[in-house]
Amino acid sequence: MCTRVLWNDNELAVLAGRTMDWPESTQPLLVAFPAGRERDGGQLGPATLVADNPLRWTTRYATIVATVYGLGGIDGFNERGLAAHGLYLESTDYGPRDPAKPGVHAALWAQYLLDQAADVSEAIALMDDVNVVMAAAHGFDATIHLALEDASGDSAIIEFSHGQPVIHHGRQYTVMTNDPTYDEQLQLLAAQDFSHPGDSMPLAGNASAIDRFQRASYFSSMLPKPQNQRQAVASVMAVMRNVSVPFGAPDDKFGIYDTEYRSISDLTERIYFFELTTSPSIVWVRFDDLDLVAGGPALAVNPYDETLIGDITDRFAAADIAF
């Protein structure tokens, strides 16, 4: 499931929060990749998903991501301040494979855009020349849509319907959850006027994607102007905790899953914050202080390491990452 909230009008920093809601652990690693890495968009671990005309590229930009099942980055940003967040969307339809276009499987879709694009507009332009192909892991299809934002505060939501990308591009697209499609979510939101929130306004309180969309919109519209970066990050994290799904969600019956982690991408200071719901400690990494060497090894840390707390930049170590 999941929720993404972008705060791009606070005059201090561009911040994006997300929750990862899933029926099991996504086995995340926090990984920093240097530029100059070779990738194959047709390979998913040992399996070949795109045998005919796979997309291959050399990464232009260094990135920091949270991985999903070790198969690709699902959340994070790059050195130019472009961030990407992959969220579940059951209605996703990538369409049939078009061998005339290089193919990239869905688990590497977000990583590809982070590797190659400097901002939202460049990421959107890259979509003209690639064909996103379904991937699956642990019995789950990667039917995802992407939220993008950059250090200028620009934003985009990209979904696939009948094989075609449906793109909402503009600073005003700050909240995303899951089904129904983004067009439908916006129509539902239009029925609620959150421009002047008050204590008498009825507010949806369920954990469904529709209710979380409205609740995230409501509370993010109420955030006070921050006095410093610490307050700004805390403000976004407060909203993400509000729209998180507590343990015991009725996943099998309603398709609603517990929140595994929350993250915040600070695209102004280039700091990635990460909070496991099973940990009392939040951790963060200062991207600019990582010792990344172009063409060199990836650096990684396991966020489930219970000794981690606070600034963990110096805990990143060389790692053999398969993708």
pLDDT of residue 253: 58
Q: Whole-model pTM?
A: 0.95
Contact 83, 76 (CB under 8 A): yes
pLDDT of residue 247: 87
pLDDT of residue 188: 87
Cα separation of 131 and 109, whole Å?
Answer: 10
pLDDT of residue 194: 65
Residue 231 has which token pair? 């307050």
Cα separation of 62 and 295, whole Å?
Answer: 10
pLDDT of residue 310: 97
Tell me the pLDDT of the chain (323 aa) as tens digits: 799 999 999 999 999 999 999 999 999 999 999 999 999 999 998 999 999 999 999 999 999 999 999 999 999 999 999 999 999 999 999 999 999 999 999 999 999 999 999 999 999 999 999 999 999 989 999 999 999 999 999 999 999 999 999 999 999 999 999 999 999 999 988 877 666 666 667 787 888 899 999 999 999 999 999 999 999 999 999 999 999 999 887 665 556 889 999 999 999 999 999 999 999 999 999 999 999 999 999 999 999 999 999 999 999 999 999 99
- Farthest-apart Cα atoms in the chain, separation: 58
List the domains of the chain with CATH numbers. 3-319 (3.60.60.10)
311 sits in which H/E element:
strand 310-311
pLDDT of residue 111: 98
pLDDT of residue 255: 67
Contact 281, 314 (CB under 8 A): no
pLDDT of residue 252: 59
Q: Which amino acid is at 317?
A: A
Backbone angles phi, psi at 40, to 5 degrees: -125, 110
Cα 173 to the chain's mean position, in Å? Answer: 14
- H helices of the chain, in order, are 109-116, 120-126, 182-190, 209-220, 229-242, 251-254
The region, left, alpha or beta by phi > 0 then psi within -120 to 50, assigned to residue 186 is: alpha
pLDDT of residue 191: 79
Residue among 305, 250, 321, 266 nearest 1 (CA): 250
**Catalytic site residues?**
2
DSSP classification of residue 234: H
Contact 277, 258 (CB under 8 A): yes
Backbone angles phi, psi at 310, to 5 degrees: 70, -140
